[in-house]
Every structure is written in C-alpha cells, then in structure tokens.
Structure 1
Amino acid sequence: MVRMENNSSPNCYSRLLPIFLIGGLIFFFGFSIGSRHGANLYSSEVIGNVDFAPYWKTWNVLNDKFVSGSSTAAVSGQDRVWQSIVGLAKSYDDPYTVFFPPKETKLFEASISGNFEGVGMEIGMRDDIVTVISPLKGTPADRAGMMPGDQIIRIDGESTNQFTVSDAVQRIRGERGTSVILTILREDVDEPLEISIVRDVITMPSIDTELRDDGIFLIQLYNFTGQSQKQFKKALKEFADSGADKLILDLRGNPGGFLDAAVDMTSWFLPKGKVIVSEDFGDPETIHHLRSKGHELPVEDFKMVILIDGGSASASEILAGALSEHGVATLIGEQSFGKGSVQQVVNITSDTSLKVTIARWLTPNGVSISHDGITPDIEVSFDMEDLEAGEDPQLDRAIEFVNEK
C-alpha cells in the first residue's frame, strides 16, 4: 500500500513514503521515430545513445511469427507497449519503481483512497523477497495471523521468486468473499506455513487513544494520512486535558503515509526550524532539509516513549528518528523496516502512471533510513509465544521506563 497527495491536476507529481522519467519519455520517443520509419525498423537507428533496432526487430519478429499455444486472444499492440514499459521500469532493479498499466493504475488509485477490497496488509521487498511490513488492524490479514517480517514465497501456489511488489499486490488483492492462499516463511518456524485469507472491503484504521489508570496516556497511530493529522491533533489535546505527564506513542505496524503528515505530526514536539528529515537526491548540493513548523503542544515536562518494530516504516521512521535524535523520546522495541526512499507518481497518460524513486531519507544526524532502519534505544523482542499468550513485553517495558524516576 502506498500514499500520494490528492491533487486534481492530471500531471501532478505526488511525493510518497511508504511501503511503487525521462526513461519512459525516451521509450516513447523511440517508439514514435520507429513507427514513422515503417519498413526501415530493422535499421540500426540510435536515439539518445540508445540503439532501439534490437527492440523493433524483436517487435516485428513476434508480430510476424508468434503463434499462441492457447486459445486466448492475441495481445494487442497497446498492451505490448504497456508491458514494454513495465520491463523498462523493472530494469532499474528498484522494487519501488513501478509502471502501472490502466488496470493496475485503477487498483493503485483505489489503494491510495484507503478503501478497497483485499486482505489489508502492507508488503515490500527485503533481500529480494516479498515481505510483510505490517497487517492493518482488524483486517483479514490481521485476523488470519499474518505478522511483520513474514516472507511470502508463494501466492496460490505460484512462486514469488521473480515478483516485484506490484506483481504480488495484483495477485493478493481481489474481490470481497474470494480467498487467497499465501505460503510464508516465518522466523523461528522451521517449515513453510500456508495461510488462507478471505478478502474483504478494507477501511484503513487511523488512531486510538487511551488514558490508563496509572496516568500514562497511550496513542496508537496506524498510518500517516491527511485525516491522521487532524486526529493526531485531537489526540494530543486529549493528552493535554488528561493532565498526564507520560506519553507512549505506538508506531508498531505503522507502514507510513504522507510526508506532509509526518512533518506536521513531528512538529508538535520540536521547536520551529529544527530539522525533521532530509531528502538526498544523490548530490550533496541538492540535499533538502524539512524543518519543524513549531506547533505549540500545550503540555510541558512530560516523558515520552515511542514503540517501533519491523512493521514501522517510512513516515514512522521519520518521526521516530527525528524525536530520538533530538532527545525528545526514547525508542523501545525492535529494528524498524528500513523504508527510506522517496517516490513520486507521474501520470504518463490519463489512465497509466509511473511510481519512481527520486531520493532517500536521512535522519537529522544524516543517517540513512534505507535498508537498516531505525535502531531502538532499548531493544525488546515480541514473538509468537507472546502473541499467543496475550502478552506485550514491549509495551510493558515502555510503561516501566516512563514510570522510572
């Protein structure tokens, strides 16, 4: 699942966090030139230092000679163009750079809206394996027992060995009431597990709050959306009105969301102008610093813990990293996911789109979030035995920490 900013402009560039061009334009340029040359497509035409002759020769050989072994309809010329661009995007060997043909673009836009049919979990690539970042609370994936870090090796019996994130999403998502069988590898479990999940309509949760009897205020944030910003502000007002001076922010299983939401929420805890995160575009001279807006939190002298785990990704890592490095909060739990790259969505045509990685995130101290993620100050594991026993050692340690003098 990914996020993008709402914008009515068909050519908008939307910045993404979670946890999917010129290259495309070059391809279209080559396509138009080749088409105009007609019978001369076999020539060694070089465009922009790229020789498109092998491509056009392959195109025409397939056109002239291919005979399908099945009764399915022939692939249209336009579908071959779309799949060519899919392959072009794959050639960059980045799981988050993906071209979406018309059908996939509709699915992508549905996931952005936060209301769609499927199983309800965030997936990404880790070590070239389709991996669960986090199941969303109360969804079919959550009820079926999917866990952060589960490696999906087969979907309905089909190996995911050569899959991109987009390939996996297309096969896992489906109509309400239908089923999908996921074969997974799970840490500390010797044999692969087969989990059957019945798809349903997915409505994304946002935030929960609780004032405990011991005076600790809990905020559990499930994602970073435009609505999350308003609800987070309301939750902080509840915290202020409660009179509590101990705050636990639970970002476990939070896969991220809007960049603006992450910056806005972090701004409640940092003075105006403090660096929250930096965007590294591959050139030291073009690093862009995103700074706190300096919102006024009506609470002073409170102790704060942030809970993170392997399902905390993207915007969660930005907030946790910033508040940890600025000395505002102590991080407890497990290593975060490590989704530290920036994507933009480009509408290639009115019904196709390209999601492309354009930068990587750095914490205020210049540490890259990608791959390794954020390391908690106090490491506490949470395993299957804890889950089955109804125990939460990470939350227990957080409560113990904020109660320490």
Structure 2
Amino acid sequence: MGIVNISWQQIVMILIACVLLYLAISKGFEPLLLVPIAFGMLLSNLPLSGVMNEAVSNIKLIAPDGINALKEGTSASISTQTPGGLLHYLFQGDALGIFPPLIFLGVGAMTDFAPLISNPKSILLGAAAQFGIFTTFLGALALGFSAQAASSIGIIGGADGPTAIYLATKLAPELLAPIAVAAYSYMALVPIIQPPIMRALTTKEERCIVMTQTKPVSKKAKIIFPIVVTIVVSLLLPTAAPLIGMLMFGNLLKECGATDRLSDTASNALMNIVTIFLGISVGASAQAEIFLSSQTLMIFGLGILAFAIGTAAGVLFAKLMNLVCKQKVNPLIGSAGVSAVPMAARVSQKVAQEECPGNFILMHAMGPNVAGVIGSAVAAGILLSLFG
C-alpha cells in the first residue's frame, strides 16, 4: 500500500499541489496551466504511483537447458524491458524541447501584431522589460548558481512559461520543476504584483496621459512581418530560431488568409493538447526529493525579483521616452512588456482606467506586450548561445 510508504516530503508536496489547485480553480490564477501542473505534481508524489519511473532494461542469463546460468560462457541471454511511467514518456516532449515551440505555434496563431507594427517604438518597451532577466542572471551568479542555472532562473523575468521551460531543459534540467512552477505562478499573479510597482513609479498625471489612436495596418504588412522577423532574428541569433520561427509560423497561418483550418487547429486543438501534456509532465517532475530544497526557495525569490525588475524597467523606459519623443507615452504600457499576453496589457488598462475612467490604452499596451513575447525568446536565444 502506498500509505505505508509515504514520506513527510511527499505529504508536503501533496499539500502544495492542493494549494495550487485551489488557487487555480477558486481564484482563477492561470487555471489552464496551473491545474495540469498541480495535478502532475500530485500524481508524481503519491508513493508507488510510478508515473515518472524510467524504463528499466533487464538482462537474464540462461543455460542451454533452460536453467539459470551460473558460469559465464555457458549461457545465452534474454533482454527484457520494464516500461516507464506514462508521465515519464510525456516528459520527453519537454526534455527534447518539443512542447514549448509548439506552444509558441499556438500563441502565434492567436496573436495580433498590428499594435506593434503600427507603433514600432513599442518594441523598445518590450526590450526594456527584459532587463529583469539579465539583472537576475547576475544576482543568481552572485548567489553561487552556475551560469547555466542562473540563465534559466533569470528567464522567469520574461513572464513567459514556455520560454522558461525551453531554456531550463537545455541548460539546467535539474531545476526545471521549480523554474516552471515559479514562472507560471508569477504569470498568474500579474494583477497582484504589477499595479503597486506601476503606481509607485508614476504620477497621477502620467497615468492619465491619453495616447493618440494607432494607425491601421495593411494586410500585406501583417503577412510580411512574421516572415521578416523570422529571417532577421534567425540570422542574427540562430539559437532563437525554434521559438521565434514557430511563433511567426503560427502568426503567418493566421494572417495570410489561405490557411484558416491550420490556424484554427494551431490556436485551439493543438494548443490545448500540448498545454495539457506540457503542464502535467512538468508538474510531475516536481518530485519531493528535487523540489524541497533551499535552491527552490532561492529560485522563487529570484523569480519574483526578476519579474518586478522587468515591470519597473518597462515603466521607467516609457518615462524616458517621454523626455525625447514628441508624442507622449503613458508609462503604464511599459509594464506590459513582460510578455504575459494579454494579461499584462489588461492590467495596464485597468490601472489607467482607475485614474481616468475614459482613458483607453489597451491597444497601445498590446504593442509592448507582443514585443515582450519576441523579446523573451530573443533573450533565451542569447543566453543559450552564450552558455549552451
């Protein structure tokens, strides 16, 4: 029976899984991701469940007469294999870097890059928000983490779960579970973490800045954009090609108008299937002996630091732009550069309307928001090229 083999560490992990399920279901914190992650964590920490067991090969020596051989040289061998657990095999999609790019394919098919194309300056805000990644990378190095582990921890600041998983599997697979849980937890907490930082760094007058309406974007520009971005980014940073390429491929399926069925599959059925497999397998990697350590606490602390610095950097860079640009920018849209699409943009809109009910900055915030998706993938490519 499993109950007689349970350890206190497994009990703690089961409780953590139940708390995450509560937050996801009752509080609505990223339920599409936290429910699979938490349930995978629950399954893998139930004693003797074997869901994450690796396949085991067994070689048995037998004598010609069928009796087990005792002497070498008088026997033949039979090889048998005990299959691994279900989630062990699903986890190979994470370990081999398959699931995160497929998530990017679905994200691309759901993303409208028109706000970014109509206001190219938004890409600067998306880039500024990645400052949290590299600041936290340096902080993790100072705390004794290796360059590979520090890179994987820093990417949490991009608020992009698939990118965090992709980089962790490449550079620090032993830290995948805490990094994934931290990344998705902080994505879910965007409406709680960001507003105090945004208000602390801006004045009421700045939060009430009304931005001019964005100009319309032609269909041709929407089609050309993913092709050009794929070519330029891949030529400059080949390691980012899997993420950027799949993101832009999904977007091309959406915008070209000739592949509606493929776009619908990528943004719905495929996206949902991969999300289930990725979430439950990543959660299952959070086994007690790996997850419950001082390193995990440090990762969660550094993760929230990365997220906060990224939010602050985006807001401060927007304020800097107001010193040199004729058209004023509402600094609140800078916080949307952390990539959590579209939640971060909605938070910018919510804070702006709390100050001025008639101020509508959502579409302006979507520019840096989608730029942040590109920025986090590029940041991951830079770290991977340096330390991979």
* TM-score, normalised by the number of residues in structure 2: 0.25
Higher relative contact order, chain-length normalized (CA < 8 Å, sep 6+): 2
